[in-house]
Chain A
């Protein structure tokens, strides 16, 4: 059955959340290793924003990028396989949780260097200007990344040349274990974009429909040659910065408040009120995720004999 509107959004958000929760399980079981950054609580951003992109557009994300890849249409099994170090992963296990790409699906990569991918998006837009494709580029990064010099440089570069780039800043209030409010004097991050002449707005990043319409409007403007835009998505992560972060820096009250604001709880409440079987939506997502994880777990590990391949052309 095909769902539409808010129901489709809820399903899309559940696919991401169920994927992330499965990762937590796999990590606990020792199948998934290393540093893994979950986007639980932040699902509305990718679901809303990716809807504004066409196949040829480029997307550059961060280590907290699983949700963005899923929203872009990367299938779940090779995504699980990538994180599990399987040969069938989108990068054969080379990228891992924090640094994979899936170019076939317009997902041009996570990045594990804060701010590292932002100028890539500007370059992708530049390429679009020269290759006649009309491509626009989107890049997503966190609040903390705003303090990285490379991000400021990239934003001005796009502004100076009117490049069609959408800068999305997911403001979850924390940069690892440190609150953004302690690391800036002016908490209106949109002001930095405005100061560079970039159209900017701050919106509720937990409302997928609002994210979709806002980003679509800027995407249209960018396609029309009106240059870059900056959208600050106010959101929250319901979990630690990485699996294992016990979040001593957050109060119980704050976590409870975040639990009420988060997108899935909100969408569920709204849909349940109009009689939609939201549990069926959750179940559908979980079934799909479980099946994909089980298949990926049975896939063969990356072959050590291939470890040196692809270094040069």
Chain B
């Protein structure tokens, strides 16, 4: 098993897809010759020739051509460099890609994968800091995944490319150069969906995804040192979402459910997770939703730090929650 960091794992997954599926294309701004602004697509252009190429700064055309090529049987993998840049081109996903299979009664399809990355990093400006996954989970017809580890990133990318629906993969750039991990690279492409129990404990179920997973796990470990064990359920796939696993876990943890994400709370996907649990009748007592404050994200780290939950704040909130 190769030892890979997150960026390396995505690169390996892309390489595998380009090798196994001759109908794949990989394109976006700076992805080919420069190998991506975060180095994720390094060397793929060298090995796959004109199936990997750089594009103009034209997000609308990147997504729109992916839709058109996918309708004709290609399997494009395209990059939107920052999730914030989706917003200049969303028509192509929401009005276009998401409708194709449904309205044509399956006669047409748009099996494309959009890779992007999101979230805040030190001093990133308000237009480079947003967590936008909930915009996409609100759109029926799109698939959404937010991985957190090299293995997870590898598996999600392969599953996304093999999936016959349009899939948006949200990385978090602060994870790219993280610790290396042994990554199992050979297995059959897994169907999309599913979740992973990252730790178990009886006091509550904490659902989370993406980069937040690491902060939640760190907070849960600290809480355990204080004698309170919680279950952490990581749900990288937000569509399809593993509600069943959540409900099972909540039922096993006294009906207590917390959801933590980096996106701001109002309209965040955490609300959907909580309401589904409520509808399933598994909740007992009040649930906890934890995310960024409902405001814009300022560049100054002193300000951003006050708005986005860190390990310390998650610990404080979970402590209050589990003792309530």
A and B pair up: yes
A94 to B37, CA, bound (A): 24
B58 near A85 with CB under 8 A, answer no
Closest to A308 in B: B295
Does A99 reach chain B (CB closer than 8 Å)?
Answer: yes
Q: Which chain A residues lie closer than 8 Å to B84 at the CB level?
A: 112-113
Does A67 reach chain B (CB closer than 8 Å)?
Answer: no
A115 to B59, CA, bound (A): 11
Residue of A85, A144, A184, A303 most packed against chain B (CB within 10 A): A85
Interface of A: prevailing SS: loop
**Nearest Cβ distance between residue A71 and chain B, in whole angstroms?**
21
Does B124 reach chain A (CB closer than 8 Å)?
Answer: yes
Bits for A96-129, please: 1 = Cβ < 8 Å to B, else 0: 1111000000000001111110000000000000
A218 to B194, CA, bound (A): 60
Q: Which chain B residues lie closer than 8 Å to A116 at the CB level?
A: 88, 127
A96 near B123 with CB under 8 A, answer yes
A98 near B54 with CB under 8 A, answer no
Does B287 reach chain A (CB closer than 8 Å)?
Answer: no
A149 near B60 with CB under 8 A, answer yes
Name B57-100 residues within 8 Å CB distance of A. 57-61, 84-85, 87-88
B128 near A35 with CB under 8 A, answer yes
Q: Which chain B residues lie closer than 8 Å to A249 at the CB level?
A: 33-34
Bits for B181-209, please: 1 = Cβ < 8 Å to A, else 0: 00000000000000000000000000000
A113 near B85 with CB under 8 A, answer yes
Q: Which chain B residues lie closer than 8 Å to A305 at the CB level?
A: 306
- Name the contact of A178 in the complex, choosing from B30, B87, B128 (C-beta under 8 A): B30
Task: Tell me the count of chain B residues lying within 8 A, CB to CB, of chain A.
Answer: 39
Bits for A194-210, please: 1 = Cβ < 8 Å to B, else 0: 00000000000000000
B303 near A93 with CB under 8 A, answer yes
Residue of B37, B126, B298 most packed against chain A (CB within 10 A): B298
Q: Which chain B residues lie closer than 8 Å to A145 at the CB level?
A: 57
B56 near A183 with CB under 8 A, answer yes
B30 near A176 with CB under 8 A, answer yes
A94 to B299, CA, bound (A): 5
A66 to B304, CA, bound (A): 22
- Name the contact of A301 in the complex, choosing from B37, B123, B300 (C-beta under 8 A): B300
Does B229 reach chain A (CB closer than 8 Å)?
Answer: no
Name A289-308 residues within 8 Å CB distance of B. 301-308
Does A259 reach chain B (CB closer than 8 Å)?
Answer: no
B37 near A111 with CB under 8 A, answer no
A177 near B30 with CB under 8 A, answer yes
**Nearest Cβ distance between residue A9 and chain B, in whole angstroms?**
31
A305 to B302, CA, bound (A): 10
Does A148 reach chain B (CB closer than 8 Å)?
Answer: yes
Q: Which chain B residues lie closer than 8 Å to A35 at the CB level?
A: 123-124, 128
A85 to B298, CA, bound (A): 9
A234 to B291, CA, bound (A): 46
- Name the contact of B125 in the complex, choosing from A95, A149, A175, A248 (C-beta under 8 A): A95
A116 to B211, CA, bound (A): 28
Does A268 reach chain B (CB closer than 8 Å)?
Answer: no
- Name the contact of B122 in the complex, choosing from A34, A95, A301, A307 (C-beta under 8 A): A34
B306 near A307 with CB under 8 A, answer yes
A304 near B56 with CB under 8 A, answer no
Residue of B29, B293, B300 most packed against chain A (CB within 10 A): B300
Residue of B56, B60, B126, B303 most packed against chain A (CB within 10 A): B303
Q: A248-B34, A249-B34, A308-B293 are in contact. List 7 more A-B contacts (CB 8 A).
A: A93-B303, A111-B127, A113-B88, A115-B88, A183-B56, A307-B295, A307-B306
Interface residues of A (CB under 8 A from B): 32-35, 63, 85-86, 89, 92-99, 111-116, 144-145, 147-150, 175-178, 182-184, 248-249, 301-308, 311
25 contacts between A and B (CB under 8 A): A33-B301, A35-B123, A85-B302, A85-B303, A89-B300, A93-B298, A95-B125, A95-B126, A96-B123, A98-B127, A99-B299, A113-B87, A113-B127, A114-B57, A148-B59, A150-B88, A176-B34, A178-B29, A178-B30, A183-B54, A248-B34, A302-B303, A304-B305, A307-B295, A311-B296
Interface residues of B (CB under 8 A from A): 29-30, 33-34, 37, 54-61, 84-85, 87-88, 121-128, 293-296, 298-307
